Amino acid sequence: MNDDLIVTRSVKIPRHELQVSFSASGGPGGQHANKAATRVELRFDVADSSALSPGQRQRVIDRLGDEVRVVVDDERSQLRNRALAEERLVARLQSALHVERPRRPTRPTKGSKKRRLEAKQRRGEIKRQRRRPGRDD
């Protein structure tokens, strides 16, 4: 089994680069919440990662910083919280790695210009017909 966390087609993080720690989840829950270490903290050191190219690394550092930290204590299960933390880490890295395509300005077509002017003329004619007739009408 491949032991990598897949972020994109070109980025796969080896799990040994992720630091995972567990602690007791705060809040209500009685004995289970007080005894079970279900809160998961997942850390990923971007600066020292071998999974990212230099350009990708710089993009992630610019957007998220040198270290990405995700904390999850949503579920009662440590395993489920760990899976959620990995999903959230992947989502954050995907959004940081996303590159917007540059916008290329376009010009209106002849047909669209013609339709716009015709619509303006129709509207103007409607408004002219609403006016009170003048002396010469």
This prediction has a pTM of 0.72
Q: What is the average pLDDT value for the chain, to the nearest integer?
A: 90
The reported pLDDT for the residue numbered 18 is 93
One-character DSSP codes across the chain = ---EEESSSS-EEEGGGEEEEEE---SS-HHHHHH---EEEEEEESTT-SSS-HHHHHHHHHHH-SEEEEEE--SS-HHHHHHHHHHHHHHHHHHHH--PPPP------HHHHHHHHHHHHHHHHHHHHHSPP-TT-
pLDDT tens digits, residue range 25-50? 877 767 777 788 889 999 999 999 98
- What domains sit in the chain, N to C, each tagged with a CATH number? 4-97 (3.30.160.20)
